[in-house]
């Protein structure tokens, strides 16, 4: 039997969830300011949860949002397995929606760090 989480762990987890949601909203607004049309937010798929699904021109971006101390830490926070699941989730969504047929699917990152502007990295992990 599993022991109940300690109160400090619950508070830490709740704060992490709140901070993550705040980062997602900031990233959402940032992408909209840059001309992206938001098609979905916190989408649950069988493969993965997509933070943001955005469209601009012929590009369908599966956007992962990470709030870390540095851009390098944000890039490293997404494992190869997670990147592959996100890519498959985006391709599956594109294949199921006729309005997205023929769009190129790519995996982007929006990294947030304290005291800095959000940073959007298009095709953050090329070649996957």
Query: 106 in a domain, yes or no?
Result: yes
pLDDT digits (tens, 9 = 90+) for 16-37: 677 778 899 999 999 999 999 9
pLDDT of residue 13: 63
Q: Is residue 97 in a domain?
A: yes
Does 95 fall in a domain? yes
What is the domain-level CATH number for residue 115? 3.40.1350.10
Note whether residue 103 is domain-resident: yes
- Give the torsion through C-alpha atoms of 20, 120, 86, 96, to 10 deg: 110
- Domain assignment present for 44: yes
What stretch of H or E contains 24? helix 7-33
Checking if the pLDDT of 128 tops 60, the result is: no
Structural domain contains residue 127: no
Alpha-carbon dihedral 5, 6, 7, 10, rounded to 10 degrees? -40
Please state the domain count of the chain: 1
Task: Enumerate residues 6+ apart whose C-beta is below 8 A from 31.
Answer: 38, 52, 54, 63, 110, 120
Residue 77 belongs to domain spanning: 7-121
pTM reported for the whole predicted model: 0.84
Q: What percent of the chain stands above pLDDT 90?
A: 62
Continuous H helices in 34-127? 71-76, 80-96
Question: What pLDDT sits at residue 73?
Answer: 87
């Amino acid at each position: 039997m599993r022991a109940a989480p300690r109160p400090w762990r619950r508070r830490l987890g709740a704060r992490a969830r709140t901070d993550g949601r705040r980062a997602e909203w900031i990233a959402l607004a940032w992408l909209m300011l840059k001309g992206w049309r938001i098609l979905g937010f916190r989408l649950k798929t069988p493969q993965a949860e997509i933070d943001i699904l955005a469209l601009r021109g012929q590009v369908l971006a599966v956007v992962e949002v990470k709030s870390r101390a540095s851009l390098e830490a944000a890039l490293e926070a997404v494992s190869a397995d997670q990147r592959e699941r996100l890519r498959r989730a985006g391709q599956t969504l594109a294949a199921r929606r006729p309005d997205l047929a023929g769009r190129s699917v790519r995996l982007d990152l929006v990294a947030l760090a304290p005291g800095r502007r959000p940073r959007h990295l298009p095709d953050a992990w090329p070649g996957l």
